Amino acid sequence: MARTRTTTLWLFVLIIAAFAVAPSPAGAAQPAAATYTNPVSAGTVDTFPDPAVIKGKDGKWWAYGTTNPIFNSRGETGEHILPTLSSTDLVHWTYAGDVFPLTAKPSWWPAGTRPWAPDIRYYNNAYRLTYSLSVGGIGLATSPGPNGPWTDRGQILPAASGCPTGAIDQAMFTDTDGSYYLYWGSYDTICVARMNAEGTAISGAVTQIGHGRRMEGGFVVHRGGYYYLFYSDGGCCDGAFSGYTVKVGRATSPLGPFTTPTGVRLTDLTSKDGNVLAATGNGWVGPGHNSLVTDLAGQDWLVYHAIPQNDPDFPPVTGANGATLNLTKRPLMIDRLDWINGWPTVRAGAGPSRTAETAPVTSWTVGSTFDLGAAGFTGGFTWSGGLLTATGAATSLSAGSVSGNVRVEGDVRGTAAGISYGPVTAWLDSASKRLVVDGAVSGSQALPATFNYQSWHTIVLTRRGNSLVVTVSADRLLQDVATVSVTLPASFTGGRLGAVSRTGPADVDNLGAAPLYTPVTQLVADPRVGALLPAYSDEFNGTAPNAGWSWVRPDATATVSGGSLVRPTQAGDLALGSNSAGVLLRDAPAGPFVVETKLQFDGVRGNQQAGLVLYDHDDRFVKLAHSVLPLNGIANTFLQQTEFTKEDRRVSNNAVTSGPSFGGPAPATMWLRVLYRDGVARMASSRDGVTWEWGAAWTMPRPLRIGVVAMGGTGATGRFDYVRTYAVG
């Protein structure tokens, strides 16, 4: 039986009684949207794949996307190279230009290049944008501001990178000691290497940290003592047949090994559990290639793309490489990322949102971006050019006060710059090379030896109850380089915010506080299985299948023996134009149902598979199988995969198309389930028949019949202990 989870509605508690509110001063962040509806790029651009987002030192949010035809609906037939958007609230976005104009491509790019998958970071006074070349290799551009002008820094990793499947889909990461790492790889391996001190080349050994069918898009954050590697698997870009999902593993080192919630290593030769985000059948297909951002309340958000099922494809376009391309629409999406029992999941497991949701918190109750002046703050700092500045020891305090559970943050630079919250000050001490917390409480943590005090850093103070956690990072991307945790005294009530310099010149910007988010602590409930439907089930306890089964292309090798349906794999297949395998079928119930089997499978060669189908005809079905698939880039190596595939005709051109998504681990004995309800089929798998890993969904309206297949090459055997069909609970 599937474990039952209860749903806790996400509530952002304003804590009005405990959070004293003063009028917002001039230059404060303006009230943001109360709700949003995906895609958040609607009305701005047609598509925005592989998004990376950062909160700029100018107080805005900035997003960067893969080269794509962003204005096709306006009559443009070509692409924009690494387009850029800006926003004040993560909901309403404005087109802000491109990293590289079509007429000013770097001369070193190989012919045929289309830049992909940008990643954005900030350190040492520069925004660092890395990007992939479609022909392989990784480039770097830098800028003093989030919107350029961008300076080409050349290639930092060649296509022959030491990772088996080349060099694309990169992301940088800064560890607690200040060292830089680069993650990259696609189809089907993710690698990591330490970088040099400038972050312009790898300097350490290349380590393979993930193997999986179509595994790519690695993105690492550090939280609660673990390094979390987010990645996508399945197909990213095949319209309504894109099976992209986001999964995660975690480790105690940036070099791994990364493991899933059930302890499977990401390098194990099987599909993986650890679902963060998958299609649910609500109109979004192939959600994936994520980055993360944190709002002003401390709530994390997954930033990703997804495909509108009813309008998935562009007409032919002229690519940035001059070729005619058939591309998929992948607009910009955001959704709340919850951390439950130490693992991340989108909307407590509910998947991509379709209707109005509570928006990110992007304005402070007390605070200012100082764009228009220093109104609301008084003291020793002066206002200059959109920030507060001091030449020596000084403090400027806000007029308003805050209390209760709160998140305070500010951008600082200087040899002894910091921020304060009531009687607590957090500051960067270049003399001792430490993050220091003093005043009502005290504590400190060493800063990296390479820490640049003259570059902007963000200090965050997070209060929940009597606990106060202080962190410092360069860019708010969950890569803190120092953390101090202290217990507040019972007498602590909060107070005003302050810009602080203990000595010497200092700058402070974007200083404010917002009520702290309320975390979601329980997952949404898994689907529940109801009563067994004997008329649509078979225990295979005789010498042949019971009444109700029929064949498409009879398979004479299939037998019933020892309480199992025994099906040796056939040389034939059921895929696109190759429809020669036998399909054993029976009717499905008229209402919602769950079909389940216990499968033993011994396949070892590529494309051997056995499993269930919901079948209309040879060119229209969904299949859930234990499949053996080759690992790209490593010869004679195969993955044991839980494969969930849809085949049907593409709306745009009526061509028969097939697309896979991948579920949890696929051991020699496993249980498979397909839930069918309201025209949507959703997969689940289990290693014990009790605990189920629910995965992606495909839309597939009736008529459908329940079927069993074993195919993809001779030499293996599928043993089905039963086929049971249940009502939906």
Secondary structure of residue 696 in the 3-state scheme: strand
DSSP β-bridge partners for residue 52: 64
DSSP β-bridge partners for residue 86: 62, 94
Please name which of 190, 317, 236, 221 lies closest in space to residue 49, comparing C-alpha atoms: 236
User: Which residues contact residue 675 at a Cβ distance below 8 angstroms, ignoring those fewer than 6 apart?
Assistant: 527, 592, 593, 594, 681, 682, 683, 684, 728
Please name which of 285, 258, 289, 257 lies closest in space to residue 273, comparing C-alpha atoms: 258
Q: Fill in the DSSP letter of residue 58.
A: T
Secondary structure of residue 388 in the 3-state scheme: strand
Average pLDDT over residues 554-573: 97
pLDDT in tens, 704-722: 999 999 999 999 999 999 9
DSSP β-bridge partners for residue 53: 63
Average pLDDT over residues 445-457: 98
Q: Fill in the DSSP letter of residue 270.
A: B
Secondary structure of residue 347 in the 3-state scheme: helix
The span from the CA of 601 to the CA of 612, in Å, is: 13
Q: For position 33, what pLDDT does the model report?
A: 84
The mean of the pLDDT values for the chain is 95
Q: For position 715, what pLDDT does the model report?
A: 98
Question: In the 3-class helix/strand/coil scheme, how is 97-133 assigned residue by residue?
Answer: EEEECCCCCCCCCCCCCCEEEEEEEEECCEEEEEEEE
Each as own residue / partner, the long-range contacts of residues 573-576 (CB below 8 Å, 24 or more positions apart, any chain) are 573/607, 573/711, 573/712, 574/613, 574/618, 574/621, 574/623, 574/709, 574/711, 575/647, 575/658, 576/647, 576/656, 576/657, 576/658
**Joined tokens for residue 485:** 């945790």
- The total of other beta-carbon atoms located within 10 Å of residue 678's CB is 8
Please name which of 81, 92, 173 lies closest in space to residue 132, comparing C-alpha atoms: 81
Share of the chain above pLDDT 70, in %: 96
Q: Does the pLDDT value for residue 27 go beyond 80?
A: no
**Joined tokens for residue 256:** 């791994």
Average pLDDT over residues 176-193: 97
Q: Is 625 exposed, middle or buried (0-12, 13-18, 19+ CB in 10 A)?
A: buried
Please name which of 713, 26, 11, 718 lies closest in space to residue 369, comparing C-alpha atoms: 26
Q: Does the pLDDT value for residue 25 go beyond 50?
A: no
Q: How confident is the model at residue 20 (pLDDT cuts 50, 70, 90)?
A: very low
Q: Does the pLDDT value for residue 261 go beyond 60?
A: yes
pLDDT in tens, 577-586: 899 999 999 9
Average pLDDT over residues 368-391: 96
The span from the CA of 117 to the CA of 567, in Å, is: 43
For the chain, domains (ranges, CATH) are 35-225+292-358 (2.115.10.20), 366-515 (2.60.120.200), 529-728 (2.60.120.200)
* DSSP per-residue letters across 641-654: EEEEEEEEE-TTT-
**Joined tokens for residue 501:** 């310099």
Average pLDDT over residues 345-365: 98
Radius of gyration of the chain (CA): 27
User: Which residues contact residue 400 at a Cβ distance below 8 angstroms, ignoring those fewer than 6 apart?
Assistant: 20, 21, 22, 23, 365, 366, 376, 496, 497
Q: For position 6, what pLDDT does the model report?
A: 34
Q: Which is it for the CA torsion 695, 700, 701, 703, positive or negative? A: negative
Q: Does the pLDDT value for residue 387 go beyond 70?
A: yes
Instruction: Confirm if 602 and 569 have CB atoms less than 8 A apart.
Output: no
The span from the CA of 220 to the CA of 173, in Å, is: 7
Q: Is 531 exposed, middle or buried (0-12, 13-18, 19+ CB in 10 A)?
A: exposed
User: Which residues contact residue 696 at a Cβ distance below 8 angstroms, ignoring those fewer than 6 apart?
Assistant: 234, 243, 245, 278, 279, 644, 661, 663, 682, 683
pLDDT in tens, 626-671: 999 999 999 999 999 999 999 999 988 999 999 999 999 999 999 9
Please name which of 128, 132, 154 lies closest in space to residue 142, comparing C-alpha atoms: 128
**Joined tokens for residue 660:** 């896979």
The span from the CA of 299 to the CA of 10, in Å, is: 11
Length of the chain: 729
Q: Does the pLDDT value for residue 5 go beyond 50?
A: no
Q: Which is it for the CA torsion 313, 314, 319, 322, positive or negative? A: positive
Q: Does the pLDDT value for residue 312 go beyond 80?
A: yes
What burial letters (b/e) apply to 123-143, b meaning 16+ CB within 10 Å?
Answer: beebbbbbbbbbebbbbbbbb
Q: For position 101, what pLDDT does the model report?
A: 96
Please name which of 389, 508, 523, 519 lies closest in space to residue 462, comparing C-alpha atoms: 519
Q: Is 338 exposed, middle or buried (0-12, 13-18, 19+ CB in 10 A)?
A: buried
Instruction: Confirm if 248 and 338 have CB atoms less than 8 A apart.
Output: no
Please name which of 441, 412, 440 lies closest in space to residue 427, comparing C-alpha atoms: 412
pLDDT in tens, 210-260: 999 999 999 999 999 999 999 999 999 999 999 999 999 999 999 999 999
User: Which residues contact residue 263 at a Cβ distance below 8 angstroms, ignoring those fewer than 6 apart?
Assistant: none
Please name which of 528, 637, 570 lies closest in space to residue 164, comparing C-alpha atoms: 637
Average pLDDT over residues 83-110: 97
Q: How confident is the model at residue 31 (pLDDT cuts 50, 70, 90)?
A: low
Q: How far is CA 273 from CA 288, 603, 687, in A?
A: 16, 21, 11
User: Which residues contact residue 671 at a Cβ distance below 8 angstroms, ignoring those fewer than 6 apart?
Assistant: 596, 597, 598, 599, 685, 686, 687, 688, 689, 692
pLDDT in tens, 681-693: 999 999 999 999 9
The span from the CA of 17 to the CA of 727, in Å, is: 48
Q: How far is CA 274 from CA 250, 344, 662, in A?
A: 10, 9, 11
Peptide bond preceding 423 in cis form (omega within 30 of 0): no
Query: How many alpha carbons fall within 13 Å on the CB side of residue 410?
Result: 34
Please name which of 469, 505, 500, 686 lies closest in space to residue 596, comparing C-alpha atoms: 686
Q: For position 23, what pLDDT does the model report?
A: 34
**Joined tokens for residue 484:** 């101090």
- The total of other beta-carbon atoms located within 10 Å of residue 618's CB is 19
Q: For position 164, what pLDDT does the model report?
A: 95
* DSSP per-residue letters across 149-203: --EEEEEEE-S--SSTT-S-S-EEEE-TTS-EEEEE-EEEEEEEEEB-TTSSSB-
The span from the CA of 715 to the CA of 712, in Å, is: 10
DSSP β-bridge partners for residue 552: 583
The span from the CA of 304 to the CA of 232, in Å, is: 10
Please name which of 367, 336, 386 lies closest in space to residue 56, comparing C-alpha atoms: 386
Q: For position 2, what pLDDT does the model report?
A: 35
